[in-house]
Amino acid sequence: AHAGQTMAFEQAPAFRFGADGMIRSDLGGEVFASIQGAIIAAWRLDEGTGLPLTPQPNSTATLGWRRGGIQISVDGEFRAPSLVLARNELATPGTVLAHAQASWEGKKWQGRLRIRNMFNTQCYNHINPYRLLGLAEQGRTLEFSFIQNFSR
């Protein structure tokens, strides 16, 4: 029991489906573009409803430039509204986010600087249970990573 509630879990017949894909193209010279997307769906067959916390369909379009060991790119990420819902599950609205990144690569190292959610857009992720409390995903973030290869 949790908070006065009795939880009972039972096995149910379910159907899961997923697909993802990516297309990447060099646009000439040092410019490149890509589009990628994914969808996962899961249904409870005996009730005709979705399974809880099924991810939202999403896609990302990227436009970038690279020369030597330097690469700079911007992304537009689209999260569709939640399409498959379980019984008593609230829908999650869709959103559009913008990201940017720059990376540098040497002979034995790689560095990357990334800004996620550049415009600090309030958004929700359907598989995050905190959305039920009205807590949005983390806003603008700055990520830095450095990888050093110590092999000879």
pLDDT score for 117: 96
- Cα separation values, 63 from 74, 86, 94, Å: 6, 36, 22
5-23 pLDDT, tens digit per residue, is 666 777 889 999 999 999 9
| The Cα angle at residue 116 between residues 113 and 120, in degrees rounded to 5 | 135
Question: Which residue do the tokens 């869709």 mark?
Answer: 94
pLDDT score for 34: 97
Contact 85, 48 (CB under 8 A): no
42-63 pLDDT, tens digit per residue, is 888 998 888 887 889 999 999 9
Residue 37, Cβ neighbours under 10 Å: how many?
16
pLDDT score for 52: 83
107-126 pLDDT, tens digit per residue, is 899 999 999 999 999 999 88
pLDDT score for 85: 87
DSSP labels, 85-107 = --TTPPP---EEEEEEEEEEE-S
Confidence of residue 2 (pLDDT cuts 50, 70, 90): low
Torsion of CA 115, 74, 146, 148, to 10 degrees: 170
